Chain A
C-alpha cells in the first residue's frame, strides 16, 4: 500500500483523517463511559443478591435461549431461500427481495404490532396458533417470533451475497462430473459459502440479542435482559442499569469475538 504512504500529506486525506478521528471519538465516549459508571458493589447486588439475582438469571437464560432458537430457525429457513434467490432468475424477483427486506424498514414497535396482528390470540392466524398450543402474547415464543421477524433480512441478505460470490461454473462442473443438484449444494456450494453463512448467523443473532422495541409490544413477560435493563433504569436508576448492562455487553462481545476468530481461523485457508 505505498500509494497511501506517498499521499499522506495530501490535504484532502488529512481532512478525512480528521473526520475519522472525530467519528471514532463520538463512538468511543459512550462505549468507554459505561465502564466508568460501572460499580462492582452494585453489580454484586444485582448478580448475587437475594432480591434480584434470580430475576436476572432467568432473563439472561430467556434472552439467550430465544435468540439462539430464532437464529437456528432463521438459518434453516434462510439458507435454502437465499440459495434459490441467488441462483434463479424469475419475474418479480426484485419485488420479492424488496419484500424480504421490509423488517429492516419497519419501526420496531410497529414490527411488534405486526407480529401480534399476524400470530397473536386475536390475530389473523390466532385460531391456528391457539389450536397447536402456540401462545405469542407474553410468552417465550412471542419473543422468538419478534426476534425472528426483525433479524430475518440480515440472514437472507448475508447468505445470499455469499452464494452470489461463488462462480456458478464450479457447480456446473460438479454436476457434469456426476453430482446431483443436492450433492453439489452440500459438497461445493455450502463449503464455499460457509463464511457468509456464519456471518449471517452472527449478524442475525446479534440483532436478536439487541432487540427490545418489538419485544416490549409482543411479550413483556417472560422478561428478557434488555427489558430488565430498562426496568432497572426506571425503578432503581442508572447505576443499577449499568451494573446489569456491562456484563451483558461483555458476554455478547465475547461470544462474537470467539465466533469471528473461529471463522477466520478455520476458513481463511483458500
Chain B
C-alpha cells in the first residue's frame, strides 16, 4: 500500500501538488494525463530521485519521504527503459538480486522464472543494444519485478511500441499482474492503458491530480472528452 499526502515539488516554473493519493496493496493504478502535466516528476518523487519540498509518502504505513531511493524498495520502469548497456539481459534482471547478495542458484531460478513469464528466456545472453523495443520493455519489467518491490512505478512503459505490439505488451502486463498481484503506479497519456489495466484511475492536469475514481466515473467527467473516440473503439473491440 502506498499513500501520498500534501505533496509539493517545484521545478523551475512548474509545480507538482498532490493532495492525497492512496493505492492499495496489489492494486494496478493508472494515472492518465497529457504530456507535460508532471507525471514523470511524480514518478521520480515517489522513487526518491527528486526530493519533495513538503508532504509525506507512506509505504505500508512507513514514512519513506526522506529515504534515499535504495532504501525504499520501489522499483521503476522508465520511459526509455534505461537498461544497463554494459550488461546482458540476464545480468540486467539479476542486478538487484546480486546487490542483495543472494546465492547465485536462487538468483538464477528467479531470473529464469521471470524470463519465462515475460517471454524473454531466449534473449538472456543478448546485450540491450540488440533488442527490439518490445523486448527492452519486458526486460525492464523483469528487472523491476525481480527485487519483489513494494511498489513498481511504470513511466509510459508502452509509449514507444507500435500499436499491435502495444496491445500484446499490455495484455502481458495484465496477465502478469493477475498472477503476481504486485502494487503498481503506471503513468500514461493513453486511455486504453487505463481502461484495460486498472479499475480505478487518476487523471492529472497541470501538476494536480484532478480526478481519482473508477473508469466508469471518469468517462462521465469533462476530462474524458478528448478520449471519447478511443474509449468507444476499445468498448467495440471488447464486445
Contact = CB atoms under 8 A, between A and B. Distances in A.
A175 interface: yes
A178 B67 CA distance: 12
Contact of B127 (A183, A187, A269): A269
B78 interface: yes
B95 interface: yes
Contacts of B69: 172, 175-176
B70 A270 contact: no
Contacts of A179: 70, 95, 99
Contacts of B99: 177-179, 183
Interface string A178-192: 111101000110011
Contacts of B80: 167, 169
Contact of A176 (B47, B84, B128): B47
Interface residues of A, number: 20
Contact of A172 (B73, B78, B128, B144): B78
Interface in A3-25: none
B219 interface: no
Interface string B68-108: 11101111101010101110000000011001100000000
A173 interface: yes
A177 B47 contact: no
Nearest to A188: B84
Contact of A175 (B70, B100, B143, B144): B70
**Residue among B68, B82, B127 with max Cβ neighbours from chain A (10 Å):** B82
A163 to B, nearest CB: 15
A129 interface: no
B143 A177 contact: yes
Residue among B48, B96, B100 with the highest chain A CB neighbour number at 10 A: B96
A188 B75 CA distance: 17
A169 B143 CA distance: 14
B192 to A, nearest CB: 25
Interface of B: 44, 47-49, 68-70, 72-76, 78, 80, 82, 84-86, 95-96, 99-100, 127-129, 143-144, 147
Given A176-B47, A270-B129, 11 more contacts: A170-B82, A172-B69, A173-B84, A173-B143, A175-B70, A178-B99, A179-B95, A180-B70, A187-B95, A192-B85, A269-B127
20 contacts: A169-B80, A169-B82, A170-B82, A170-B84, A172-B44, A172-B78, A172-B82, A173-B78, A173-B84, A174-B84, A175-B68, A176-B49, A178-B70, A178-B99, A179-B95, A188-B84, A191-B86, A192-B85, A269-B86, A270-B85
